[in-house]
Structure 1
Amino acid sequence: MKPEIRLRRVYDPPEPGADGVRVLVDRLWPRGLAKEAAGVDEWPRAVTPSAELRKWFHAGGSAGEFRERYLAELAGPEAVAELARLRSLAEAGPLTLLTAVKDPASSHAAILAERLSP
């Protein structure tokens, strides 16, 4: 059975039963969102884009190069271990990757979801 990995905005209300384990994949906590309202189960910073990569991208970096740099970060030992753990969570039930970006399907969350899929 293929793992179910969902992408959602962290600002959207949790969907009990559908979301499964809710994982925040942003380096920084989302602005204006109370931790109780977010319904975040995990916040593994080892798989979030580094502060340096985020700053580079927001200063005008290209999406293609961002992808390459982010995949390189995900190849580090701490990230590889965390990816394996998240993959096992996804195999056990739904896994929802949460991000504050307006379009999760065009964000680092989508790249991460690809890396988690077999």
Structure 2
Amino acid sequence: MKPVINIKRIYEPSAKDDGYRVLVDRIWPRGISKEEADLDEWQKEIAPSTALRKWFNHDPVRWEAFKTKYTEELNKNEAAAPFLSQCRRHKTITLLYGAKEERYNQAVVLREYINKELKS
């Protein structure tokens, strides 16, 4: 069973239909407590490397290159297989991120990656 994967800013309130809530940032988001986050899991190991995150800096001009580089990181990441296995156990997953940028962030790339990997 392939899960439905949603993307949401961590600053938005949690909802019953969020399903399994996973923070996919390497750094804890500013100004939010663990209680407010209402997480099931924090997957910082699956987030982009610090070097890649700093290089990208949510710059739309670097978006295509970021997607390629982050996907390459995911393909080599030892945390990816256990994370994908965890994803298979849920009907609905909400990937949470802290960035202000809604279109150009790692959760968008991660959703594409999960959908591709769980297709097979």
TM-score after normalising by structure 1: 0.86
Tell me if 1:40 matches 2:39: yes
Aligned to 2:52: 53
For 1:11-50, what aligned pairs fall within 5 Å after superposition? 11-16=11-16, 18-50=17-49
C-alpha deviation, 1:58, in angstroms: 2.2
TM-score (norm 2): 0.84
Question: Residue 71 of structure 2 aligns to a residue in which SS?
Answer: helix
5+ long unaligned stretches in structure 1: none
Please report the RMSD computed on the Cα atoms of aligned residues, expressed in angstroms. Answer: 2.0
Q: Which runs of 5 or more residues in structure 2 are unaligned? A: none
Corresponding letter in the other structure for 1:100: G
Checking the alignment, whether the CA contact within 8 Å between 2:58 and 2:105 is kept in structure 1 is no
CA contact (8 A) 2:2 2:91 kept: no
- Tell me the number of residue pairs that the alignment of Structure 1 and Structure 2 aligns: 115
Any idea what the Cα deviations from partners look like across 1:46-101, whole Å, max 9, x if unmatched?
A: 21011111111129671111111101110014133134224313xx3110000112
State the SS of the aligned residue for 1:78: coil
